[in-house]
C-alpha cells in the first residue's frame, strides 16, 4: 500500500537531487557576482547526473510503491521515464553551453527553469493522483513558458512565450474540468481507484466528456493535432536548445501520463496476457487512432513547405507524436513497448538534429535551410551527423528510427488496424522528401554567403559522436532497450 | 464511430452538463454574429468617445503606470500564499508534532532562499 510521508522520503531521491540542485544554483548565483559564470551549467549537469543515477539505482522498482499517501508511485514505468528525461536534460545542458544565443543571457535562471521542468517531468511520469497530475503538468508548463521567452529582446521569442501561455492555460483548464467530472463520478482522486469504480458501470456520457477533456490537456503536452497550434511558433521562437528540450522531454513525459492515465482509468487488463480491454463504455481507441492519423499527416504535409529548419523540425516532431500514438491505440503491451522504444530512439536522433542546428545557427544567427548550404564542406562532421539523424528520423533501414517504426508498424498490422498502417507508411514516404531536402542542400549546393569552414569545438564534436553512436547502434542491436521497455510496461498490466 | 455515438446516454443526469456546455458556447457564438449582422452602425463623434454613456473624458486614458508595480504585486502574491500554508499548520501544530515542524522548516527554508534571491536581485528596491 501507499507509504506515509516520512517513509516515502528515502524513495524520493531523484526528485530531491533536482530540488537541491535548483536551490544550490540560486544560492551560488546570489553569492557570486558574475552572471555569466559557468557555475550554474556545471551544477545543473552534476545535479541532473546525480538524479539520473538515483533513478537508476532505484530501478528494479517492481510493481510499484505508492509514495506520499498515494500521490506518486515509484514503479519501473516511472523509472524508465525519469532516466529518459534526465538523459534528455543532460544533453540539452551541453547544447545550451554551446549555444551562442544564450551566452549573454543570465545563466542561473535558465538552468533553474530547465531543472524545474525536469522535476515536473519526474512527477508527471510517476503521478498516481489527479491532483498530482495537474500539479506536475503545470510544473512542466510554467517554466517552459519562461524558457520559450528567454530571449527577451527577440520578438519571436516573446511571441512564442505568449502563445504558449494562452494555449497552455486553456488546455490545462479544460483538462482539470475533465478531472472534476471524474472526481464527481467516483468521489476519489486516486487514478487506480477511479479506474476501478468506473469499471463497475458508469454513465457513458460523463465518461466520454471527461475522456475528451483530459485528452485536450495531454494532447497539448504531446503536441497532437488538433492541439498542436502552439508548437510551430513556440519551437521557432524559443532558443534552439529549449526547442530541442521541449520536443523531447515534455513530450515524453506527456506520453508517460497519457499511457498511465488512459490505461488505468479507461481500460483494464484483458483476459489474454499483455492486453487491455476498454473498461469504460467509450471507445477512445478509435478516437485516438483518428488523432494519430491526422497528427502524422498534418505534421508531415505542413513540414514540406517550411524554410526554417527549426519550424520544419517542429512539424516533424508533431508527425512523430502521431507515429507514437499508433502504439497507444492498440491496447497491447507490445504497442506500449513500441512507444517506449521509439521515445528512446527519438531522443537521440531529434536532440542530435537540433544539436547541429545550434552549431550552424551559432555561425549564421538564423536557421534557414539556405544557411545549411555547403555544410558538407564547411563542417563535414556536423553535416554527416545531421544526415544520419535526418535519415534516422525518416526511418531508413540501417538507422535506429527504422527499428522504432518496425515495432510500431508490426504491432499495428498484427492487430489488424490496416488503414492506420497504410496512412503511416504513406506519411513516412512524404517525410523522406523534406528530410532529404536538407541533406541535399548540405552536400549538393555550394555555400552562398558563408564559405569559411564552420568551427566545431571539441565538446560538441564529442557530443555529436555520442549521439550518432546510439542512433546507429540501436539500428543494429536494440535488444536491451526492448527488454527494458518490456519490464517497464509490465507493471501496468497487473 | 457508430459504437461511439450509440454509447451516448441521453437519460443520464450528466447530460445536462453537456447541454449547458453546448448552449453556453452556442449562445456566445450566436450573439457575436447576431450583433455583427443586426446591429446598427452609426459612427459619429459621441460613438468615438472614450466612454460613450458616461462623464465626458477630461484627460487622456493612457496614463503611464510604473512597471515596478507588477513586480511588487507578484512578490506580494507569492509571499502572501506562504501564509496561507502557515495558518492550517499553526492550527494543527500540536497534532503534527516535530515532523510537521520539520516539514514547515524545509518549506520556509526554500522560501527564504527565494527571498534572498529576490533581495539580491534588487527586486525590493523601488529605484
Would you call A449 exposed, middle or buried from its count of C-beta atoms within 10 A (0-12, 13-18, 19+)? exposed
What pLDDT shows up at residue A171? 94
Are A417 and A289 within 8 A, CB to CB?
yes
Nearest CA in chain B to A109: B117
pLDDT confidence bin for B82, thresholds 50/70/90: confident
Nearest CA in chain B to A106: B121
3-class DSSP state of A331: coil
- Which residues from A are below 8 Å from B when comparing CB atoms? 5-6, 23, 26-27, 29-30, 181, 203-206, 208-209, 281-283, 286-287
Task: Provide the mean pLDDT of chain A.
Answer: 89
Residues of A in contact with B15 (CB under 8 A): 205
Nearest CA in chain A to B15: A205
What pLDDT shows up at residue A239? 92
Beta-carbon separation of A287 and B7 below 8 A: no
pLDDT, tens digit, for every residue of A134-191?
A: 999 999 999 999 999 999 888 999 999 999 999 999 999 999 999 999 998 889 999 9
Would you call A226 exposed, middle or buried from its count of C-beta atoms within 10 A (0-12, 13-18, 19+)? exposed
Query: How close, in Å, is residue A13 to chain B by CA atoms?
Result: 16
Residue A106: pLDDT above 90? no
pLDDT confidence bin for B5, thresholds 50/70/90: low
Here the cell at position A494 is 497487473
Q: What is the pTM of this model?
A: 0.89
Query: How close, in Å, is residue A407 to chain B by CA atoms?
Result: 27
Q: How many helices (H) and strands (E) does chain A have?
A: 20, 4
Residue A267: pLDDT above 80? yes
CA distance A331 to A276: 5
Mean pLDDT confidence for A62-71: 81
pLDDT, tens digit, for every residue of A349-361?
A: 999 999 999 998 8
3-class DSSP state of A433: helix
Burial A146-161 (b: 16+ CB within 10 A, else e): bbbbbbeeeeebbbbb
Most B CBs within 10 A among A204, A205, A281, hence the mutation to make, goes to A205
Nearest CA in chain B to A29: B117
pLDDT, tens digit, for every residue of A296-339?
A: 999 999 999 999 999 999 999 999 999 999 999 988 889 999 99
Here the cell at position A448 is 552562398
Beta-carbon separation of A6 and B4 below 8 A: no
Amino acid at each position: 500500500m501507499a507509504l506515509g510521508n516520512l517513509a516515502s522520503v528515502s524513495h524520493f531521491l531523484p526528485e530531491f537531487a533536482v530540488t537541491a540542485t535548483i536551490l544550490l544554483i540560486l544560492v551560488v548565483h546570489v553569492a557570486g557576482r558574475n552572471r555569466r559564470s559557468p557555475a550554474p551549467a556545471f551544477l545543473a549537469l552534476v545535479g541532473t547526473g546525480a538524479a539520473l543515477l538515483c533513478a537508476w539505482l532505484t530501478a528494479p522498482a517492481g510493481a510499484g510503491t505508492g509514495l506520499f499517501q498515494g500521490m506518486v508511485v515509484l514503479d519501473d514505468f516511472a523509472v524508465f521515464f525519469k532516466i529518459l528525461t534526465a538523459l534528455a536534460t543532460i544533453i540539452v545542458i551541453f547544447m545550451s553551453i554551446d549555444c551562442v544565443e544564450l551566452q549573454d543571457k543570465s545563466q542561473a535562471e535558465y538552468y533553474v527553469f530547465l531543472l524545474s521542468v525536469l522535476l515536473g517531468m519526474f512527477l508527471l511520469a510517476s503521478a498516481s493522483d489527479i491532483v498530482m497530475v495537474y500539479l506536475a503538468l503545470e510544473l512542466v508548463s510554467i517554466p517552459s513558458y519562461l524558457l520559450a521567452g528567454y530571449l527577451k529582446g527577440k520578438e519571436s521569442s516573446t511571441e512564442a512565450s505568449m502563445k504558449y501561455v494562452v494555449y497552455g492555460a486553456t488546455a490545462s483548464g479544460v483538462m482539470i474540468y475533465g478531472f472534476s467530472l471524474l472526481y464527481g463520478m467516483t468521489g476519489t482522486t486516486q487514478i487506480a481507484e477511479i479506474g476501478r469504480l468506473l469499471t463497475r458501470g458508469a454513465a457513458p456520457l460523463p465518461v466520454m466528456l471527461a475522456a475528451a477533456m483530459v485528452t485536450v490537456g495531454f494532447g497539448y503536452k504531446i503536441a497532437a493535432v488538433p492541439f498542436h497550434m502552439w508548437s510551430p511558433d513556440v519551437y521557432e521562437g524559443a532558443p534552439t536548445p529549449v526547442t530541442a528540450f521541449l520536443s523531447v522531454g515534455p513530450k515524453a513525459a506527456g506520453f508517460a501520463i497519457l499511457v498511465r492515465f488512459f490505461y488505468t482509468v479507461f481500460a483494464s487488463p484483458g483476459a489474454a496476457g499483455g492486453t487491455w480491454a476498454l473498461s469504460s463504455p467509450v471507445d477512445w481507441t478509435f478516437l485516438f487512432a483518428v488523432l494519430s492519423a491526422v497528427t502524422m499527416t498534418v505534421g508531415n504535409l505542413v513540414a514540406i513547405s517550411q524554410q526554417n529548419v527549426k519550424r520544419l523540425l517542429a512539424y516533424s516532431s508533431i508527425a512523430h507524436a502521431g507515429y507514437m500514438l499508433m502504439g497507444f491505440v492498440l491496447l497491447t503491451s507490445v504497442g506500449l513497448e513500441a512507444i517506449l522504444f521509439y521515445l528512446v530512439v527519438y531522443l537521440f536522433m531529434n536532440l542530435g538534429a537540433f544539436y547541429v542546428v545550434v552549431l550552424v545557427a551559432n555561425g549564421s544567427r538564423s536557421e534557414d535551410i539556405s544557411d545549411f548550404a555547403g555544410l558538407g564542406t564547411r563542417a563535414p562532421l556536423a553535416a554527416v551527423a545531421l544526415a544520419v539523424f535526418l535519415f534516422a528520423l525518416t526511418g531508413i533501414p540501417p538507422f535506429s528510427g527504422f527499428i522504432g517504426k518496425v515495432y510500431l508498424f508490426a504491432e499495428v498490422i498484427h492487430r489488424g488496424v490496416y488503414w492506420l498502417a497504410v496512412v503511416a507508411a504513406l506519411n513516412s514516404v512524404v517525410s523522406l522528401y523534406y528530410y532529404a531536402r536538407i541533406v541535399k542542400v548540405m552536400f549538393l549546393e555550394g555555400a552562398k554567403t558563408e564559405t569559411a569552414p564552420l568551427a566545431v569545438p571539441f565538446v560538441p564534436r564529442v557530443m555529436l559522436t555520442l549521439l550518432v553512436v546510439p542512433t546507429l547502434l540501436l539500428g543494429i542491436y536494440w535488444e536491451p532497450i526492448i527488454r527494458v521497455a518490456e519490464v517497464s510496461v509490465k507493471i501496468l498490466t497487473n | 464511430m457508430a459504437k461511439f455515438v450509440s454509447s451516448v446516454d441521453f437519460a443520464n443526469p450528466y447530460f445536462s452538463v453537456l447541454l449547458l456546455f453546448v448552449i453556453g458556447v452556442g449562445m456566445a457564438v450566436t450573439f457575436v454574429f447576431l450583433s455583427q449582422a443586426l446591429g446598427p452602425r452609426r459612427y459619429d463623434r459621441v460613438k468615438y468617445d472614450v466612454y460613450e454613456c458616461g462623464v465626458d473624458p477630461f484627460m487622456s486614458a493612457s496614463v503611464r503606470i510604473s512597471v515596478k508595480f507588477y513586480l511588487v504585486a507578484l512578490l506580494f502574491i507569492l509571499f502572501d500564499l506562504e501564509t496561507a500554508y502557515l495558518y492550517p499548520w499553526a492550527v494543527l501544530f500540536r497534532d503534527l508534532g516535530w515532523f510537521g515542524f520539520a516539514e514547515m522548516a524545509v518549506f520556509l527554508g526554500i522560501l527564504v532562499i527565494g527571498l534572498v534571491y529576490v533581495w539580491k536581485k534588487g527586486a525590493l528596491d523601488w529605484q
